[in-house]
Every structure is written in C-alpha cells, then in structure tokens.
Amino acid sequence: MSLIEKLGIENAKALDVMLHKHAVPENWKISVINGMWQRSSVGFTHGELRAAIADHDRTDRVSDIRNHIAPTTRVIEG
C-alpha cells in the first residue's frame, strides 16, 4: 500500500503543509498514529511524503473510460 493510499491525498497534503510550517527537516522519519504525526525511527521521511504527493498529482487515473469519451464518438472497425 502506498503512502498516499494509507494517508489519503488530502491528509497527506495537510501533513506536508504542517511539516513545512514547523520547519521539519526533509530527512526526519515521521509516523502518523491516531491522526497525529510524530518523529519516529520508523515510518516515512518528509522528503518521501513530498515525492509521493508529487507522483500522485502527476499520475493520470482513469476510473472509467466512458467518462473521457464524448457520447457522440463512434468506433469504426478497420
């Protein structure tokens, strides 16, 4: 399970803002327990969180192709 799947994208972005606000170094390990973040010897780094958010924002996810094709599109067999 990816970091974004564990936290949820909105929670991940909120955590990134909070960590940035508190000037948490990129290499600190962080754990989220009961919705609270804390420095830990296990978990993920602030840098890994930022990378996961960037990858999520860059990835195009298509849940159903019908949502992305105009109803007037015709399929022609060649």
- pTM for the structure as a whole: 0.68
Question: In this structure, what DSSP letter does residue 41 have?
Answer: S
Please, are residues 44 and 3 in contact by the beta-carbon 8 Å criterion? yes
- Tracing tokens 């948490």 back to the chain, one arrives at 24
Q: Any idea where the domains of the chain sit in the sequence? A: 3-68
Mean pLDDT of the chain: 83
Split at pLDDT 50, 70, 90, the class of 10 is: very high
Q: How far is the C-alpha of 56 from the C-alpha of 66, rounded, in Å?
A: 22
Task: Answer yes or no: is pLDDT of 65 > 70.
Answer: no
